[in-house]
């Protein structure tokens, strides 16, 4: 009979949360990059038109959107990795959680918000 060691599961949970934080950070960086190009354009041009703003802001916007999508992908990848790892643990190492789906809800929600942010940056 093997003894239960829930520390392995909780270490996997901490790793998942670290990857989720990393994904959020990359998404936030993408938002800043996309919006920073617009701010630089506004500060550098005394008179500009809306079309000039979009032309000058294009590259920063593309990089920003790419970073937001990468951040959402990191979050989804972390969830998949966590799910696959937890499936390999013996049942006695997985504690009986009250809300087993909470980590999945967190990661899918953050990835969904990241996709919405990428759509917003594309349309803005």
Q: Please, what is the average pLDDT of the chain?
A: 86
Q: What is the pLDDT of residues 89-108, one digit of tens each?
A: 998 888 887 688 899 999 99
- In contact, 121 and 69? CB cutoff 8 Å: no
In a domain, 37, yes or no: yes
In a domain, 95, yes or no: yes
Which pLDDT belongs to residue 26? 98
Which pLDDT belongs to residue 91? 86
In a domain, 1, yes or no: no
Which pLDDT belongs to residue 42? 63
Q: What is the mean pLDDT of residues 4-21?
A: 92
Q: What is the pLDDT of residues 69-93, one digit of tens each?
A: 999 999 999 999 999 999 999 988 8
Is residue 120 over pLDDT 70?
A: yes
In three state form, how does the secondary structure of the chain look?
CCCCCCHHHHHHHHHHHHHHHHHHHHHHHHHHHHHHHHHHHHHHCCCCCHHHHHHHHHHHHHHHHHHHHHHHHHHHHHHHHHHHHHHHCCHHHCCCCCCCCHHHHHHHHHHHHHHHHHHHHHHC
Whole-model pTM: value is 0.82
In a domain, 86, yes or no: yes
Q: Which range of residues forms the domain containing residue 12?
A: 7-123
In a domain, 67, yes or no: yes
């Amino acid at each position: 009979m093997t003894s239960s060691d829930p520390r392995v599961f909780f270490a996997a949970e901490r790793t998942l949360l670290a990857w989720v934080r990393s994904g959020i950070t990359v998404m936030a960086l993408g938002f800043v990059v996309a919006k920073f190009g617009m701010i630089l354009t506004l500060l550098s041009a005394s008179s500009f038109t809306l079309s000039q703003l979009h032309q000058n802001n294009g590259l920063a916007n593309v990089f920003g959107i790419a970073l937001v999508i990468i951040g959402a992908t990191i979050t989804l990848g972390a969830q998949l990795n966590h799910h696959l790892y937890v499936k390999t643990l013996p049942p006695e190492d997985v504690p009986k959680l009250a809300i087993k789906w909470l980590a999945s809800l967190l990661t899918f929600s953050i990835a969904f918000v990241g996709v919405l942010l990428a759509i917003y940056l594309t349309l803005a």
